[in-house]
Every structure is written in structure tokens, then in C-alpha cells.
């Protein structure tokens, strides 16, 4: 691990708030003031390739998530915060009907959208 990769990893490893690259960059800069956003971004992609992080797309922004086990997300439509949602993994979610015979489902993504606690009061 390079020093930069280590600092980037430290900035996200315990973070459950699903930060964007910009938010991570702000934190990393406190430790490495000369680092560029591009470098932070490249190191994030490295961590994704190593399967230490997963990426969530929300519109045009990417959110990084150190929880790589299967879980789902709640996206607040007002503040863009992302929350983890645990679903019952015992229950298989099956589509009522696939487009044609012979299709095989290997995974699925489920997302919830709405207003979070901070925004609904
Ligand atoms: Zn919100
Ligand atoms: Zn998550």
C-alpha cells in the first residue's frame, strides 16, 4: 500500500455515510494537503478493484461504501444522503415474470427512495 492509498482507505474504512469522492478528498487533504482530487479518485478506484469498497451511483455522483457485504440502500431525495438498509437475505426476491424463457437471474439491486428523518421534519 502506498502512503496515499493508506490515507484514502483510512478516510473511508469506517464511514457508513456513503461519502462522495469530493467529501473524501476534503478529509484526505487534512492529512496530505498536496494531494489532488484525481489522485484521491484513482486510489478510490483501486480500492473498488480490490473489492474493499463498492460504488453506488446516484444521478451523476458516485458514493463509496466500505460495507461490501450484500445490503440495500435508501436514498434521500432531498439531501442526497445514503443510508444502509438490511433486508432479509433468506428471502429470495423473484420477478413475477422474466422477458423470455431461459433467462437466469444472478443478482439484483433494490433501492429505496424517499425523505430521510433529517429532511422530513
Ligand atoms: Zn435527507
Ligand atoms: Zn451501504
What pLDDT is stored for residue 90 in this prediction?
66
CATH of 69-121, one of 3.30.1490.190, 3.90.1170.50, 3.30.565.10, 3.30.2130.10: 3.30.1490.190
Predicted TM-score (pTM) of this structure: 0.82
Residues with CB under 5 A from ligand 1 (ion): 76, 78-79, 81, 116, 118-119
What pLDDT is stored for residue 13 in this prediction?
95
CATH top-level class for 3-65? mainly alpha
What pLDDT is stored for residue 108 in this prediction?
79
Q: Counting beta carbons within 10 angstroms of the beta carbon of residue 101, is it exposed (0 to 12), middle (13 to 18) or buried (19 or more)?
A: exposed
Query: Which cell is 17 given?
Result: 455515510
What pLDDT is stored for residue 61 in this prediction?
87
What pLDDT is stored for residue 107 in this prediction?
78
Mean pLDDT by 10 residues, the chain (121 residues): 94 94 96 96 97 90 91 92 83 80 84 94 79
Among all bound ligands, the one having the nearest atom to the CA of 15 is: 2
CB atoms < 10 A from the CB of 22, how many? Answer: 12
Among all bound ligands, the one having the nearest atom to the CA of 114 is: 1
Amino acid at each position: 500500500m502506498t502512503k496515499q492509498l493508506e490515507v484514502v482507505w483510512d478516510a473511508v474504512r469506517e464511514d457508513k455515510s456513503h461519502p462522495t469522492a469530493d467529501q473524501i478528498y476534503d478529509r484526505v487533504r487534512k492529512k496530505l494537503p498536496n494531494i489532488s482530487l484525481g489522485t484521491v479518485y484513482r486510489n478510490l478506484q483501486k480500492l473498488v478493484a480490490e473489492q474493499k469498497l463498492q460504488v453506488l451511483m446516484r444521478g451523476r455522483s458516485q458514493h463509496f461504501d466500505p460495507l461490501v457485504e450484500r445490503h440495500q440502500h435508501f436514498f434521500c431525495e432531498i439531501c442526497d444522503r445514503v443510508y444502509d438498509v438490511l433486508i432479509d437475505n433468506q428471502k429470495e426476491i423473484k420477478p413475477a415474470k422474466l422477458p423470455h424463457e431461459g433467462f437466469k437471474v444472478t443478482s439484483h439491486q433494490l433501492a429505496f427512495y424517499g425523505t430521510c428523518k433529517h429532511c422530513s421534519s
